[in-house]
Structure 1
């Protein structure tokens, strides 16, 4: 029998050989069959009564999941590896790290770009700019001043419009690029969350199937014992 119990409250890990409290140990016989087989292949003295610590179990879980993903998808992407890292640590660090990047304080240039893009795509800007154009052309056509500052064909107005378009376009592109970066990060975050949920659900299904198989074995064993007891009890009776 492999190494397991060392005292009433501690146990020795079959993989690393260190001693841990039983609350941080897992019996290999209760693990999923494929995961237990992977541990047995690496540790020859391992049996169903052997104990494994949380750290080594997380490492084997990661290798098992990585093997599944590699068989299904081929080469793993950087996002898949990040999900495996968080899966091994047993914490939702992927979601928190993405949320931190999305909630960071924007720089002064980014705030200006967002405001310019927001104002430039509103009806307020369109109507205001249309009013400025009408007033500009009316002043120079009607002749409110003795000398129009921009007579027809409004060369100065064309220059102002060209300069405005030349400055506004890159600022709006900066804002759109930052928004695209946010959308990309959100989509990557959704992908990693979905992948993590898929892996956890798959492991949960395997664990439930494994537990049901154990329960069926125990029920069959109990029924066999009951049948044997009934046969002995019936065989020991004297005929009336």
Structure 2
């Protein structure tokens, strides 16, 4: 089967912007080649956001994954700009792949490139989701604890304490003379410092515990992403093995006896 023969198997399809060619979960019965216009491939994230995996334009193809593995569609295909598409049915697609292994390998290369872009997108998205999810559950007390912990671990706090010590000693040693309220050895100052330390320690621990929770959440998301990558890589390798077997079988059948 030649490329010219394939052109006769394609059907033309026009779609307006804003319409869906297919939705995630639909049965995969065709793949598409964009002649003009743009198509957005997107999925629904677990937090309800619409996440764009790729935006395709003239010359790009999509919808081949469901044809290769026989599974249902894994994403939505939304027409972003009035488009004309060439449609190839599953039956014609499979016969063409079997008769033209070189095109099949090029298609696998394109799939691998898309997978890398998707992995990069998911990695950044996971990083953002950790912060967004954590911020969504913060209470007023949590935010106050973070601010206090941030201030308590800064040079501003050290300078503030030095200024407090010096001012306290000046007031109770020279400036107030016989009206001092905390004479040397500044017992009341020690009491104030003890109260500050006693309150500051658990507040800082609260902030550290929340940071530990965020780290665990990030580690969990990293694990899920790595697992997804591993499964996707295994799937690509399986498809490559299938194409390799079909190619070897095809070349052996064409050898002259």
TM-score (norm 2): 0.51
Residues 70-219 of structure 1 aligned to structure 2 (within 5 Å): 95=126, 100-104=132-136, 106-142=138-174, 144-219=176-251
Structure ranking higher in helix proportion: 1
Deviation at 1:188, TM superposition (A): 1.1
Task: Point out the structure with max Rg over C-alpha.
Answer: 1
- Residue 177 of structure 2 aligns to a residue in which SS? coil
| DSSP-derived class of the 2:183 partner | coil
Please state how far the C-alpha of 1:213 moved relative to its aligned partner.
1.3
| 8 Å CA contact 2:182, 2:189 repeated in 1 | yes
Q: Distance in 2 between matches of 1:184 and 1:221?
A: 55
SS at 2:178's partner residue?
A: coil
Q: CA deviation at 1:145?
A: 3.2
Gaps of 5+ in 1: 1-19, 32-51, 56-91, 229-240
Q: How far does the alpha carbon of each residue in 1:151-172 deviate from its partner, in whole angstroms, 9 at most, with x for none?
A: 1111100110011011111111
> Structure 1 residue 54 and structure 2 residue 72: aligned?
yes
- RMSD of aligned alpha carbons: 3.3
Please, what TM-score do these two structures have when normalized by structure 1? 0.54
- Distance in structure 2 (CA, Å) of the matches to 1:179 and 1:214: 52
Aligned length: 151
Deviation at residue 102 of structure 1 after TM alignment: 3.2
Which has the larger strand fraction?
2
Greater relative contact order (Cα 8 A, min sep 6): structure 1 or 2?
Answer: 2
2: distance between equivalents of 1:202 and 1:187? 22
Cα distance in 2 between the residues matched to 1:106 and 1:183: 16
Q: Distance in 1 between matches of 2:188 and 2:182?
A: 6
Which residue matches 1:22?
A: 29
CA distance in 2, matches of 1:23, 1:99: 39
Q: Would the aligned equivalents of 2:130 and 2:214 in 1 still touch at CA under 8 Å? A: no
